Chains A and B, each alone.
Chain A
Amino acid sequence: MSEVRQPARGAPRSYTRQVLVEVLSRWGARLGLAWIAVLIVLAVFAPFLANSRPLLAATASGLVTPLIADLTAVDVTLLVVFFASLALLPLRLRVRSKLGILAGVIVLTAVAGQALLTPSQIVVHQQYREAEATGEYRWAIYPPIPYSPKDYLRDFGDTGLEPPLAASGRSHWFGTDKHGADVLSRMIHASRIALGIGLVATGIALGIGVIIGGLMGYFAGVVDILGMRLVEIFEAIPLLFLLLTFVAFFGRSLYLMMVIIGITSWPGYARYIRAEFLKLRQQEFVQAAIACGLPLHSVLFRHMLPNGLAPLLVTASFGVASAILAETTLSFLGLGLVDDPSWGQMLNQAVQSSTFNWWMAAFPGGAIFLTVFGYNLVGEALRDAVDPYLKKAAA
């Protein structure tokens, strides 16, 4: 049998591809992914969608671009990563090398952005509107929503909570919050925090869970018993109480919150990977890898992990949803970020001193719901796609 069969059309596709096709054939998953894609676009282009600074303005001394001049390193990194991933997607490269290139791009742009960009530290948001009113700008092109998330409309006097489209002279499609900032603008910028926390926190949890769970499953025995006790300890404390305790003693910042949500939600992944690895460790290919004298990390991550990866994605997808919920819950309880926009914090303003501001509930709450629902739909579709039992039952 020396002939090599060329893969014909309809030949068995790789497992990952099979799962991917199966997931994309479901309406729920398509809708969920579509919403997540919309959020990603909103998050990446947030400064161009909602900003008090004009995109382009003509002064007596020529054209100025206040918006582009004030872009921060984070803005630029997001933009570059977005276009880099779009460009990498059609290339025929291995996933590993694509991820490597992306990581390089992220580090490079972040460092270069920190070094080269000089956004103004203190922004007086109304200066651009005043400049146009006084005639300093002959004309100016504004983003679709001409209000920054932290633009409290100081030049319009004592502004506060206003229902959508109530104010004359300004158009706030989703109303304004208690400080007078535009809700839609804050929501667009908050999508960055929601997506970022969801992905990074889940990534951290996944990393810790895979390492601890993998070691537990691979070594079994004493390591397994000790590890399971650790998992039980972390599972026995309700997640929110643990988060509250962390927040109480460590203060609040976006990155800290990502880490905290990450290190409090790993036990589920560890449990899962442990079960998978316990099944795998006696199989021939693993035994062969060990017999070849491969180092431990190679056996664990190159040989065993890919076999347990697809089901792990299901858990991760639900995990992103719950990480987003955790962040919004903390912000809702007033324990989140202080000044930065967050959906939960806006939702918190919906019922204040016994008046009910429906626009503060409906729009940010709706955004949280849609995002969580989207991730759950994707998770559901993934689970159906990787679960062999359900597939058999459906056939």
Chain B
Amino acid sequence: MISRRSFCKKTLLIAGGLAIPLSALEIFDPGRLEAEKTDGKPTRWVFLVDTEKCVGCGFCVKACKTENEVPYDANVTRTWVERYAVTKDGKTHIDSPKGARDGFQTTKFDIGEGKFEEIKSQDIDKAFFVPKLCNQCDNPPCVQVCPVGATYQTKDGVVLVDRTWCIGCGYCVMGCPYGVRFFHPVYHVAEKCNFCYHRISKGMKTACVGACAFGARRIGNIKDPGDPVTRVIMTERVNVLKEEYGTKPQVFYLGLTKEVR
């Protein structure tokens, strides 16, 4: 049987010992929510891609690289366009030469390692273009796996990367099912599309939306019922990429079919 004195001693010891790790928990205090004043309406950015309208000109990719200072010659890009061609033999051919930075100026499909495959127009049953960019998911798996809190989601739904804090482990790059993340060749930290956060926060449109002459790319605020993009998402048949992963992507596609990866 433990003596009263010994019991008191041991309790104080445990309490004192717990104080150290508990004090470290101060930073995890869930009660410390930021009292952010909402300037105007609540905002949640969403994107709308119309694959029927995209012609594969690649101006969006060029504009994005310029606006966001991703080196033009580097083989990485925040956004890209994929070309799909389903031939009469049932095969699906897909390519995205340099992310469609220079558009699609050949009928040959880039199949990697410097090789090309000629696809004759008469063999094609259907062909179309699919622009891709970061989905700014509601359940972003890339944010979940960041070990240091360098990538995070803002209140308005955009997922950002803190270039001063990222350690460059690459877990977020591996964690993204859509392949939108990469290492910035100059800053050597994780990088991805951020809906031109510096532009949309000023009321401008993203660089890719501005560059698209065909209306294939549109950005809007899902919390604003009057937003035309919101109207389309709510009333027309839209789809998202890789829904089965549970990421809740916020880029909606018109004309997304089963061939699209």
Do A and B originate from a single complex? Answer: no
Instruction: Give me the interface of B with A, judged by CB distance under 8 Å.
Output: none
Chain A positions within 8 Å of B, measured between CB atoms, are: none
